[in-house]
Amino acid sequence: MVKLSPSILSADFARLGEQIKRIDEAGAEFIHIDVMDGKFVPNISFAFPIMKALRPITKKIFDVHLMIEEPSRFIDEFIDSGADMITVHYEADRHIDRTINYIKSKGKLAGVAINPGTSTVVLKDILSSLDMVLIMSVNPGFGGQKFIDYSLNKIREIKNMASDIGKEILIQVDGGIDTTNINKVVEAGANVIVAGSAVFNGDKIEENMEALKRGI
């Protein structure tokens, strides 16, 4: 089953609690929370106090995407703030295996993200330890970018790598996904779709999510 993980980076921050309730009721399986530090990516976003305030609003999985340098420093704080799944960037963590194992030791799901310019080969040795791989289909840092087409090949590569080792894994894709390309992303092997602008655009959350589900 393909799951939708709306990215609240594209939500109306003045109405964030209300809009989270709406995506919950409209059938979002995950809620994607982008955390940016202004160093690993050229933008700054949510941190612990906001997550803690949002956690009582929904029981859906908090899918926390850490676009920050040295993410291992903050794993405990994000868990305490309500994270259910934590994804760190391969490019941002010198000791990625240690971080993955630490997340899992805390009873949480662990994911690793790779940027558009990073080969899937780097995940070969750690794939068996992961719950999810996140393929960035735009350069991370800002919403509303155009989908990078060669991301489809990377999705297929991860699917084949997982199949080769008999591993069932979540393959998440983040960036530029809308009704015009979601079917291609799913056909390539993705089973968790992050969508920001395509969900929150025009304050038509329910209609937009239904359109995305039809595309799946």
| Residue 117 assigned to a binding site | no
Closest CA to 161 of 121, 130, 103: 121
CB 45 within 8 A of CB 34: yes
* Annotated catalytic residue 80: no
Q: Which of 37, 63, 93, 174 is catalytic?
A: 174
Q: Which pair of tokens denotes residue 103? A: 């997340």
**Alpha-carbon span 55 to 3, nearest angstrom:** 20
| Residue 141 assigned to a binding site | yes
| Residue 196 assigned to a binding site | yes
| Residue 189 assigned to a binding site | no
**Alpha-carbon span 193 to 195, nearest angstrom:** 6
Q: Which of 12, 34, 164, 203 is catalytic?
A: 34
* Annotated catalytic residue 203: no
| Residue 89 assigned to a binding site | no
| Residue 7 assigned to a binding site | yes
| Residue 82 assigned to a binding site | no
| Residue 174 assigned to a binding site | yes
**DSSP secondary structure, 190-202, as one string:** --EEEESHHHHGG
DSSP-based helix, strand, coil % in the chain, nearest 5: 45, 20, 35
Q: Which residues are annotated as a binding site for a divalent metal cation?
A: 32, 34, 65, 174
Q: Which residues are annotated as a binding site?
A: 7, 32, 34, 65, 141-144, 174-176, 196-197
Catalogue the active-site residues: 34, 174
- In the annotated binding site for substrate, the residues are 7, 65, 141-144, 174-176, 196-197
